[in-house]
Amino acid sequence: MRIENAMVDSGKMYGSHKLFNTSVPGLYYTLLISNMWSAYGTVTNVSSPGIYIGDSAEQYFSWYNPSEDVLYWSCNNANSTRKYWAVGGIYQTLTIEFYTDTNFDPTVTQQIKLSSSSNYLYSFKAYGAGQGINEHSYFIKIDFDLLNVKLTNPTCFTAMLSGVMTPTY
């Protein structure tokens, strides 16, 4: 599987990770996937600490299940080749970290949007999965609704983020 992002690169780095723009000047973010799994015990080869989305031009991971018998049973042999299964769904553990620079000057309860060049932040797609699969492999596009996350500025020197992030698929 390949991860492709549409996040807007700020041209800045912190701790060897790319920082991406938000709608608030001087406020940037990183997005880390630290765990991915799917149905019936299907997991990935993503190792700790995870994948910082967008850090490199191409980012890949692989799915596996310790038991092919479980996959045959769970998906009833999804196609005639008896090699691939449609397990469906991608569960993720995500961490968004925010960073500021000297341009950071929020208003008193400012709404935050993670900037994107499309209608999603990142996507998953299987390329080269094999005959009979490639024709049915589509993008799974991920975006986040941060409507409940507000920036509050109690003093001219400090600011806090609060709220709940709601993913959309």
Domain boundaries, the chain: 2-168
| Model confidence, pTM | 0.77
Residues facing residue 59 across a β-bridge: 3
pLDDT string in tens for the chain (169-residue length): 889 999 999 999 999 999 999 998 889 999 999 888 887 777 888 888 999 999 998 898 887 776 777 666 655 555 555 555 555 678 889 999 988 888 887 777 778 889 999 999 999 888 877 676 677 677 889 988 777 777 766 445 445 555 555 565 5
Measure Cα distances from 126 to 11, 20, 71, 152, 155 in Å.
28, 25, 18, 40, 48
